[in-house]
Chains A and B, each alone.
Chain A
């Protein structure tokens, strides 16, 4: 501290607090959990996006990630298990000015919510999905889920999981999503940038965030701390933009392929609606 001066000083609070419900912090997520990191990247992306934050609505389902809705200072909806996406569809179609973000977990969006995910992607309703994947059902105590790798130990797969996991980017892409990306909780700058791109993308955009679950999944699968899982992402994470999503399966302790896999243009549901309305008005209705 010599002849320097301090510049760029702002009021002394975390700049993210303006978008957080400070009266509810510290949040409920465990030490080393990556959901807070995903939320941090989301908030930072929002702050850089130039969007009218009064018009941003966050919808979540049930589960650890589902609690995100309760911590953001935006119009937020904590709905039923697996049904965040159709709720978001209703919100968006009723008020197309809203920017609707669905922020939920792998079990919520892919298992019970799987049907809604594929149909919303097919319809290309304009919304952004942030799916935090921690490979198990955390909130209920670490049961196996649709993304649990084969052979992994969870509370309901004590002999090792007998099932193949979903390849989420492949599922989203095959259903018709126009933007599909996967990042881990370690690759924060790229995650923030990807969320920003997804927010500005018109249509159904999907970002998967691989996240540590130290208390449950990690503990039972030889990665007992958040740090150990972050190290795994560091060692086994590879970035392959534009790779065909069918190549990005994640096996137990296997390679994690990250990147933006799909970025295409397609008319959205509302595009079709408006075109039909315009045509109807032209022909004078019937």
Chain B
């Protein structure tokens, strides 16, 4: 272990464990959580590792407390994270909203499982994707990253922390029970190869500091508690001073900035993986474990002569609207395999705006797609 706690080396590692190690590599020194299958391993790994790297692990009484404890730790100046699955994700929604409203950097990992309600605790699904976007009340934007392998889960956890600090927002990692529980090779690089971004600090003295005054990048510099800035933070609609402002004008100014700071930076935030799109007539658009399941059907379809390409969404929110719009003019159809009854396919259909079909390959969860069903959908799309 290097002095930053980074376990440089090559490992055969479970996704959940890779996630915890990714967080530590990114500088996370606080974890508050609650046991829930299939995310418990993240908590257990953090319980063992946090004291080793001078961090703190605390198991809270429920997920509501976990989420807001993470916000508190972030305001105490420490990079903080929590991890859960569907039922806990629902509980965290209110305080996720507080994190968005107060612009608190933090990371929330959802290892998705079969739902709704208690559902299938040990089996995979991808049914929380729309909830990731709209789960909390009010108007807001969110960043959600979706890995397809333990290695990518490691990498994206680091990226999630960097995005959270850069844009002063909670960032979601919407992984799933398959990626979380599968064991694969994970390479942890040496510290000098890991890029770490931290929150921008105030450059003015305390009596001139306004906690929510932002420059052109729309992200205000962040002071931590105990540094003498004596700021006031509230979940109420507030002005640049942080004081509650109960009128439409203050609301408009605040909501506009909260949303624009993410929307304006889509190019920086959105990551996609594309193959074979140059001459494609059909695009298989997928994310997470479903993207891996789709690889073999795509290969088979190509052998049959179907011009099919893949578009893997590494960033699901903000949704890559521009890319879908442009592709829709060139292709016949999108095939969207997802482990739910149609969530991201709705976004694809919306952005395709009738110029290309959007065909869902649905699956209620509890297992991965039957590759044959994906192949049939590709064939249907090509006709």
Contacts and interface: CB of A to CB of B under 8 A. Distances in A.
B225 interface: yes
Interface string A32-63: 00000000000000000000001101010000
A78 B226 contact: no
B244 A70 contact: yes
B226 to A, nearest CB: 5
Given A75-B225, A94-B56, A80 B73 contact: no
B68 A95 contact: no
B30 interface: yes
Interface-central residue, B1, B29, B56, by most chain A CB under 10 Å: B56
A142 B76 CA distance: 35
Contacts of A70: 232, 234, 243-244
Do most interface residues of chain B lie in helix, strand or loop, or is the interface mixed?
A: mixed
A90 B32 CA distance: 8
B225 A79 contact: no
A82 B312 CA distance: 41
Interface-central residue, A86, A116, A269, by most chain B CB under 10 Å: A86
Contact of B51 (A78, A91, A98, A273): A273
A93 interface: yes
Given A80-B94, A98-B225, A90 B232 contact: no
A83 interface: yes
B60 interface: yes
A90 B68 contact: yes
Chain B interface residue number, banded: 35 or more
Contacts, number: 137
Contacts of B234: 69-70, 77-78
Contacts of B233: 76-78
Interface in A7-24: 21, 24
Contact of A93 (B76, B227, B243): B76
A78 B74 CA distance: 15
B69 A95 contact: no
Nearest to A70: B232
A55 B231 CA distance: 12
Contacts of A273: 51, 56
B235 A78 contact: yes
A24 B227 CA distance: 23
A193 interface: no
B76 A24 contact: no
A125 to B, nearest CB: 9
B232 A86 contact: no
Nearest to A66: B234
Contacts of A97: 226
Nearest to B62: A115
A76 B235 CA distance: 12
Contact of A95 (B61, B66, B224, B244): B224
6 nearest CB pairs, A to B: A90-B72, A94-B76, A78-B234, A86-B65, A90-B73, A90-B69
Interface of B: 1, 29-30, 32, 51-52, 54, 56, 58, 60-62, 64-66, 68-78, 80, 94-95, 98, 224-236, 243-244
